[in-house]
């Protein structure tokens, strides 16, 4: 019997990728050369102090995601890059980055602890890089990420070079969920997730140009919003186009039914012409909800609920009279 990769199966059944971005307040990215163990913090080069810290964070249920990252230089350089991305309160367009250049990976845990305690760690560096794109290549955790993530990373690195985008870095990353959408990526500092990527859609995301409808196939959602609300944000992207990526946004769930089948949600955003608020009703979409294996190693199927936007109303505020709103 031939093995069916979980991402092939997800494609075969036509699963919509939206609503699968995970919601974290902080990403802590530590450079560490592969190979990585399937339980990533058991990897060969990870010091025990980092493992202990990650376990403490997990036990105290802090909304922090630890990921290992690497690029083609990671195994031959004499320092370790540590990136901390922290979500801003209120209206925003993602996360704020702090970057540290550590003499070695042993310094990662003490530096992160210092940051968590609110004091300023040493080793902080200023950088001109404005985007860090993480591609999951964690094959020991899920085969799809080796099979689809690795070649995608290789070609994506070339795409970034060809486009001359010096302000964009691309990293191989350990597992961050959604391997059934491999190749899958996170675009920081925004914190937007993508899946089922190819070089054409990746080029559009990098340059914010081309057919916005490609996001119907590859946009997993924005990690600053609860998963069920991510379909609403996609609806607004399709309405406003690539300009949406420059707006500052905040979203919240106003109320939801006990069975989670209907959700009332609200998104407020700011663009040069003013502040706008949309309210919407999200209803569980039975035709798009799928039951399938969430990963190659899963022993049983899980239900992945999807939502549809059934009503979308603009409650405009602070809008100059001459500003027209786009319609779809």
Which residue, 146, 128, 126, is CA-closest to 136?
A: 146
Q: Is the pLDDT of residue 320 over 60?
A: no
Please report which confidence band the pLDDT of residue 2 belongs to, taking 50, 70 and 90 as the band edges: very low
Please report which confidence band the pLDDT of residue 90 belongs to, taking 50, 70 and 90 as the band edges: confident
Contacts with 36 (C-beta within 8 Å, 6 or more apart), sequence order: 43, 68, 138, 140, 141, 174
pLDDT computed for residue 322 by the predictor: 46
Q: Is the pLDDT of residue 66 over 90?
A: yes
Torsion sign across C-alpha atoms 312, 317, 318, 324: positive
Tens of pLDDT, residue by residue over 224-269, are: 999 889 999 999 999 999 999 999 999 999 999 999 889 999 999 9
DSSP code of residue 241: G
Could you please report the per-residue DSSP string of 86-100?
A: EEPSSSBSSEEEEEE
108 against 142, higher pLDDT: 108
Of 154-168, 270-284, 293-307, the one with minimum mean pLDDT is: 293-307
- The structure tokens listed for 58 are 């997990």
CATH number of 225-317: 3.10.450
CATH architecture label of 6-217: 3-Layer(aba) Sandwich (3.40)
Please report which confidence band the pLDDT of residue 148 belongs to, taking 50, 70 and 90 as the band edges: confident
Are the C-beta atoms of residues 152 and 197 closer than 8 Å to each other? yes
Q: Is the pLDDT of residue 27 over 90?
A: yes
Q: Is the pLDDT of residue 138 over 80?
A: no
Tens of pLDDT, residue by residue over 101-112, are: 999 999 999 999
- The structure tokens listed for 165 are 């985008």
Helix (H, G, I), strand (E, B) or coil at 284: strand
Question: Apex CA 173: angle with CA 302 and CA 54, to 5°?
Answer: 80
2 against 163, higher pLDDT: 163
Are the C-beta atoms of residues 310 and 283 closer than 8 Å to each other? yes
Are the C-beta atoms of residues 107 and 123 closer than 8 Å to each other? yes
Tens of pLDDT, residue by residue over 178-236, are: 777 889 999 999 999 999 999 999 999 999 999 999 999 999 999 999 988 999 999 99
pLDDT computed for residue 38 by the predictor: 82
Q: Is the pLDDT of residue 10 over 60?
A: no
47 against 13, higher pLDDT: 47
Pairing of strands 131-136, 168-173: parallel
**Across residues 279-285, what is the average pLDDT?**
92
Please report which confidence band the pLDDT of residue 88 belongs to, taking 50, 70 and 90 as the band edges: confident
pLDDT computed for residue 149 by the predictor: 82
Q: Is the pLDDT of residue 169 over 70?
A: yes
**Across residues 1-5, what is the average pLDDT?**
47
Q: What are the angstrom distances between the C-alpha of 99 and each of 39, 82, 250? A: 25, 6, 25
- List beta partners, residue 103: none
Q: What are the angstrom distances between the C-alpha of 135 and each of 65, 97, 177, 254? A: 15, 18, 11, 33
Q: What are the angstrom distances between the C-alpha of 24 and each of 107, 108, 184? A: 24, 20, 17
Phi/psi at 71 (nearest 5 deg)? -130, -170
- How far is residue 279's CA from residue 27's CA, in Å, rounded to a whole number? 29
Query: Please, what is the average pLDDT of the chain?
Result: 87
Please list the residue range(s) of the chain that carry CATH number 3.10.450. 225-317
Cis peptide before 189 (omega within 30 of 0): yes
- How far is residue 158's CA from residue 150's CA, in Å, rounded to a whole number? 13
**What pTM value is reported for the model?**
0.89
Burial readout 149-175 (b: 16 or more C-beta within 10 A, e: otherwise): bbebbeebbebbeeeebeebbbbbbbb
- The structure tokens listed for 247 are 């707006």
pLDDT computed for residue 290 by the predictor: 54
Phi/psi at 138 (nearest 5 deg)? -80, 75
Are the C-beta atoms of residues 130 and 160 closer than 8 Å to each other? no
Are the C-beta atoms of residues 253 and 263 closer than 8 Å to each other? yes
- The structure tokens listed for 130 are 């404005």
Please report which confidence band the pLDDT of residue 293 belongs to, taking 50, 70 and 90 as the band edges: low
Alpha carbons within 13 angstroms on the beta-carbon side of residue 246 total 9
Are the C-beta atoms of residues 127 and 98 closer than 8 Å to each other? no
Instruction: Report the C-alpha dihedral over residues 8, 163, 97, 90, rounded to 10 degrees.
Output: -80
């Amino acid at each position: 019997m031939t093995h069916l990769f979980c991402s092939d199966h997800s494609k075969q059944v036509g699963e919509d990728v939206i609503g699968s971005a995970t919601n974290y307040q902080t990403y802590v990215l530590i450079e560490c050369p592969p190979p990585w163990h399937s339980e990533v913090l058991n990897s060969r080069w990870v010091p025990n102090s980092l493992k202990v810290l990650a376990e403490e964070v997990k036990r105290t249920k802090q909304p922090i995601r630890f990921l290992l990252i690497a690029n083609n230089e990671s195994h031959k350089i004499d320092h370790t890059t540590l990136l901390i991305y922290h979500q801003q309160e209120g209206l925003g367009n993602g996360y704020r980055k702090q970057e540290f250049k550590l003499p070695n990976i042993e310094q990662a845990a003490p530096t992160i602890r210092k940051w968590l305690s609110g004091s300023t760690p040493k080793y902080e560096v200023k950088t001109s890089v404005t985007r860090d794109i993480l591609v999951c290549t964690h094959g020991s955790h899920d085969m799809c990420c080796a099979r689809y993530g690795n070649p995608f990373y290789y070609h994506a690195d070339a795409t970034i070079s060809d486009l001359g985008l010096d302000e964009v870095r691309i990293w191989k990353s350990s597992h961050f969920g959604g391997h059934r959408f491999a190749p899958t990526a996170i675009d920081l500092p925004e914190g937007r997730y993508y899946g089922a990527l190819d070089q054409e859609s990746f080029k559009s995301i990098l340059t914010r140009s081309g057919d916005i409808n490609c996001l119907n196939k590859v946009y997993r959602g924005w990690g600053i919003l609860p998963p069920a609300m991510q379909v609403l944000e996609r609806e607004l992207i399709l309405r406003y186009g690539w300009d949406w990526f420059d707006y500052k946004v905040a979203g919240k769930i106003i109320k939801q039914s006990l069975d989670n089948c209907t959700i009332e949600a609200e998104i407020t955003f700011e663009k040069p012409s003013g502040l706008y608020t949309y309210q919407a009703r999200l209803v569980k979409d039975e035709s798009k909800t799928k039951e399938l294996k969430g990963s190659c190693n899963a022993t049983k199927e899980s239900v992945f609920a999807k939502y549809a936007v059934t009503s979308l109303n603009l409650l405009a505020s602070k809008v100059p009279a001459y500003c027209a709103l786009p319609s779809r």
